[in-house]
Amino acid sequence: MPVDETLRNLKLGLAGAHQRSNASLALGLVRAFLASERTPEILRAAQVDLSPSAPLDDRLRRGLETVRWAGRCQIAVDPAPERRSVTYYLDGAHTVESLAECGKWFMAERSGSSSPGEPRPTRVLIFNCTFDRTPEELLGSLVAAAGDLQIDQAIFCPNTTYRDGSKGGVSVHVLSKLTVQTSRR
């Protein structure tokens, strides 16, 4: 999706370079919806200049600048005083393409996350894969986009918990024997 020219210099509320394309698509959909004869009169009365060459309407600009989506390119520092050096990079990527974009975002954020002389924050990858996806393919896409992730801990969690205690086809007995594996570089 080509980036809408009115968005080139806009600071979007969602992080990640790919969000500029997503915002362009959203803006195109808004323009098409408001231009439709089937749009309710109350919305057509909003008087938004829909021409692509028009400056971005302030209401649309505010929406794009202030939009938040928890778990989408989100950074969270652990609030517990003893774990303040733990930083979580959260994203709900669930396709090969979205994990590639997630990897690019992570690398951009990681490169600016600490100043020289500051200790590097502990980085934790929490990976959840639904039963209809291939974890190797998804993780491969993430690693291909991000290169050396430099994560300190990876947590692989099952996606589904059933009433009988099984978790996505993995028995509770097997899950109880899993251990945490970490490696530091």
At residue 182, the pLDDT reads 44
Whole-number percent of the chain with pLDDT over 90: 11
Q: For residue 62, is pLDDT > 60?
A: yes
Q: In the chain, what are the domain boundaries?
A: 5-66, 74-176
Q: For residue 168, is pLDDT > 80?
A: no
At residue 176, the pLDDT reads 59
Return d(Cα 147, Cα 166) in angstroms, integer.
35
Q: Each residue of 133-145: pLDDT tens digit? A: 787 888 888 888 8
Q: Each residue of 36-58: pLDDT tens digit? A: 888 888 887 777 777 777 888 88
Which has the closest alpha carbon to 158: 130, 184, 119?
130
Write down the mean pLDDT value for the chain. Answer: 79
Pairing of strands 122-128, 153-157: parallel
